[in-house]
Amino acid sequence: MRWTLPGRLAVTTVALLTVISTGCAPSDDSSGSGGVVELTFWGDWSGEGEQQFRTMTDAFNKTHPGIRVEYVVQEDMLTKFLTASTSGQAPDVMFWDRWRTATYAPKNVLEPLDERMKKDGVERERFYGEAVRELTHDGKVYGLPLTVDARALFYNKAHLKEAGVEPPRTWAELEQAAIKLTKREGGKLVRAGLSMDDAGLFSMYLRQAGGQMVTDDCSRTTFNSPQGAQTLDLWSRMIKGGVYQTGFETGLGEGTDAFATGKVSMIFTGPWNITTYRKYGKDLDFGIVPPPAGPQGDRASLMGGFGLVIPRAAKQKDAAWEFVKWWTAEKDNALKWARTSLNIPGNVAAAKDPFFTDDPFWKPILDTLEYAKVRPACAGYPPMEDDALIPNLQLFLGGKATAQQALAKAQEQGDRVLTQNNLD
């Protein structure tokens, strides 16, 4: 043993290094056998999502004999994309969380699609305008919307009936309903009338009050305003009314979700939860209404969703465009995707299909989408919310800062974060 071990070790090391080095070496032959163009499509959805993607790639491959799309799950897709785009290993099509466009488009790593859209007669108007806006930078469109979502008010029908309240349509009704729906036992909160866990919803409330988060050029914050104060005033009245306590929902995930288990009577959330909550069947009788209007009747909601983009380093851009166009711009395919994945498609004609408009759960979300807006599309905005605004709002919700202190501090820090992160 003594004599052979070091030798064996050396051999193993060499073998290992060989594996590592060959594993890293480029080993692609994109345009493979018989003139068929091979496309690589990256996404970070696995499990059910992967099946849904494969349904679409299979359908595309069947109708396009010259192109073969292969879906590849990339768990840590963006990190992989960073290294891939510099080493020429980029995929041809990528599933894209739209809000990241503002950070990536200025770096010239995404392919602008305007000319291809013009040539093939794909008008921007086919899609939800806000979703296209989120994929736009400096007037150029860098992707097409695949899904759209918007926050709306989900409510527990049984709780509302028992408390004798109607689904709220205004802030005043929301406040009253939340207070009436709340249950306490010996001072301890056992049922919260309204979930107030997500301080990030501030931007939605603010716009309902008629306010704005940042200036149009995204250079300064504008939420420290009468409308911002009005928002926190509403929050503070509800908290004083006993509606919520911080920490009430921490650690509760799917399966122990506070709304699904009846610990919360109303919650602002998105259509991604419709499928989750429907799984509870009879145990959870819920309804959805568009978010209540603010004091002056303003309506607002937060839009999010995904798109498809083509990296600049893609090798098969023409075929990639065919695939993107087929999936998002052609109504039938967009609808097939929507029904397969239970997501509202970015394609407006497909979204107006009876499958969604006749459904009591999807209809209110569609109505909300009419006025929902995406986050301001600048690189500094997400860090501003994360580093400056939300922490200060959490301090306010936890009773550790007054509304004025929280807004003033958030403004001061937020302005700095905007300047620092908008630079490049």
Return residues touching other proteins (CB under 8 A): 2, 5-6, 9-10, 12-13, 16, 78-79, 82-83, 85-86, 103-104, 107-109, 188-190, 245-253, 256, 263, 379, 382-383, 386-387, 390-392, 394-395, 397-398, 400-401, 413, 416-417, 420-421, 424
Q: Which residue lies nearer to other proteins by CB, 45 or 248?
A: 248
Smallest separation, CB 400 to other proteins (Å): 6
User: At closest approach, how far in Å is the CB of 91 from other proteins?
Assistant: 15
> Rounded to the nearest whole angstrom, what is the least distance from the CB of residue 257 to other proteins in the complex?
11
CB of 29 to other proteins, least distance (A): 25
- Nearest by Cα to 209 from 290, 302, 299, 303: 299
What are the C-alpha distances in Å from 284 to residues 159, 166, 259, 303? 10, 17, 9, 26
CA distance 114 to 101: 15
Residue in the block written with tokens 């209404």:
289
Q: How far is the CB of 354 from other proteins (least distance, A)?
A: 40
Question: What region does 251 belong to: left with phi over 0, alpha with psi -120 to 50, or beta?
Answer: left
| Comparison of 251 and 354: residue with beta carbon closer to other proteins | 251
Q: Is the distance from CB of 375 to CB of 207 less than 8 angstroms? A: no
Type of residue found at 299: R
Shortest distance (Å) from residue 154 CB to other proteins: 20
- Any idea what the Cα angle at residue 302 is, between residues 298 and 304, rounded to 5°? 155
Cβ nearer to other proteins, comparing 269 with 341 = 269
Residue placing its CB nearer to other proteins in the complex, 6 or 47: 6
State in angstroms the smallest separation of the CB of 147 from other proteins.
Answer: 21
Q: What separation, in Å, do the N-terminal and C-terminal C-alpha atoms of the chain show?
A: 59
Nearer to other proteins, 327 or 381 (CB): 381
Q: Which of 16/19 has CB closer to other proteins? A: 16
- Could you tell me which of 66, 82, 63, 65 has the C-alpha nearest to residue 74? 82
Q: For residue 87, how many C-alpha atoms fall within 13 Å in the half-sphere facing its CB?
A: 12
Centroid of chain to Cα 345 = 13
Distance, CA of 383 to CA of 276 (rounded, Å): 30
Nearer to other proteins, 150 or 417 (CB): 417
